[in-house]
Amino acid sequence: MSRTDLIADVFTIIRNAIIIKRDVVDLPASNNIKSIIAILKDNGYIDNFKLIEDKKQGVVRVYLKYTAGKSAIRNLKRISKPGLRVYVPGKKVPSVLRGRGLAIISTSQGVVTDKEAREKSIGGEVIGYVW
């Protein structure tokens, strides 16, 4: 089975794992997924992640973060989809929940957060929101 939107699938896998309170979840690996997971780790939404090699494309094992029984990730939302790409210029980078959330943006300089995109004044494709 081919996957049309790997990022949306990964967001759904993480959301489902949080609903059933799993500590560890395995995701299919790609360079975009690794970048997104690294951003989530740097901003404190997950505890850690590990790359596991298999004979195919690889697996990213993500250790989810819980505080007092509640997940650090309240919600993940995919913004740009294969049928409708959403691009923003550097001066109009969105803010999620007035700065409490995180927008993940794919730019010409790699996958960055909304704060980094505003500092560098670069725009790109809005991948999704995390809060």
Output the domain CATH number for residue 23: 3.30.1370.30
Domains in the chain: how many in total?
2
Q: Give the pLDDT score at 130.
A: 98
Q: What is the pLDDT of residues 50-85, one digit of tens each?
A: 999 988 889 999 999 999 999 999 999 999 999 999
What are the backbone angles phi and psi of residue 114, rounded to the nearest 5°? -65, -35
Q: 111 is in which domain, residue-wise? A: 76-130
pLDDT at res. 1: 47
Decide if 28 is inside a domain.
yes
Residue 103: predicted pLDDT:
98
Crossing angle of the two packed helices 6-19 and 31-42, in degrees rounded to 10: 40
Q: What CATH number does residue 115 fall under?
A: 3.30.1490.10
The whole-number pLDDT of residue 55 equals: 87
Confidence of residue 2 (pLDDT cuts 50, 70, 90): low
By CB atoms closer than 10 A (0-12, 13-18, 19+), residue 40 is: buried
**CA-to-CA distance for 6 and 102, rounded, in angstroms?**
20
Which of the listed residues 31, 54, 71 is the one where a domain comes to its end? 71
79-129 pLDDT per residue, tens: 999 999 999 999 999 999 999 999 999 999 999 999 999 999 999 999 999
